[in-house]
Every structure is written in structure tokens, then in C-alpha cells.
Amino acid sequence: NQVMLLYRGDQVPDNAHHVFDGVCLGGDLDMVERILTGAGRKESFRAYLGYSGWGPGQLENEMKTGSWITLPADPQAVFEKDPTRVWGDILRTLGEAYQPYAEMPFDPSCN
């Protein structure tokens, strides 16, 4: 397993990779501590545990076949929404066809 950090703030950590406006992937424990102690008042992060990987060309093929829903990047959805509700809230904005997916339980084993 891996921990990935999405970070938003004015300072881009040295070991981070730009994702989109004001958001980067990466960081370090000093950055996390600064934010958690309140020293980084204009900064925030979300931590994700786990790993997903694709073989060569697999993701590109899945994109071509419509296996993924893509939307414009939205830092508010990432950093300001309740993380347990983001998936459903975003799907509800896409219309009635996505409603069943929006109502799926947080734990897929409860489905």
C-alpha cells in the first residue's frame, strides 16, 4: 500500500508534481505537520491510501471505450467537500442516469 497526498497551497513542496492550478501530488511529513498545527493556514491536503495501477496502454484504452467519467478539475470538490460524500455529490450533478451510482453505499460490500 501507498499513501498519496494531494496538496493545495502557495508553496509547492520540492518533491511534489503539479496536477492542476494550485494543486500538486506529493509532499512530506514537514508539510503535513505544518498544516495540522495551523502554521499553514492557507494550505490543505488530502491523503489517499492504496494503489491502482494499469498495464501499458490499459488506461488509454479504458478512456477510449468510455469506462471512465471525466470532468474538469475542481479543487473545491477535492478539498472542501466531505470526503465521504464527494463521489455521490458529483454524480448527482451529472443527471438522472447517474443517480443509481450516486446512491451506492460507501462500502461496496454493503451493496
Phi, psi for residue 97 in degrees, rounded to 5: -60, -25
Q: Which helix (H) or strand (E) holds 25?
A: strand 23-25
Same domain (yes/no): 19, 45: yes
DSSP string, 38-107: TS-TT-EEEEEES-----TTHHHHHHHTT-S------HHHHHTS-TTTHHHHHHHTT-GGGHHHHTS-SS
Q: How many domains does the chain have?
A: 2
Same domain (yes/no): 83, 45: no
Same domain (yes/no): 99, 72: yes
Separation between Cα atoms, residue 69 and residue 86, nearest integer Å? 14
Same domain (yes/no): 74, 33: no
Same domain (yes/no): 47, 7: yes
Percentage of the chain beyond pLDDT 90 is 33
pLDDT band at 72 (very low <50, low <70, confident <90, very high): very high
Per-residue DSSP letter, 18:
E
59 in a structural domain: no
Range 83-106 average pLDDT: 89
62 in a structural domain: no
Range of the domain at 72: 67-103
Same domain (yes/no): 46, 82: no
Same domain (yes/no): 9, 46: yes
Q: What is the CB neighbour count within 10 angstroms for residue 8? A: 20
Same domain (yes/no): 48, 1: yes
81 in a structural domain: yes
Residue 65, burial from CB neighbour count under 10 angstroms (0-12, 13-18, 19+): exposed
pTM over 0.95: no
Residue 94 has pLDDT above 90, yes or no: yes
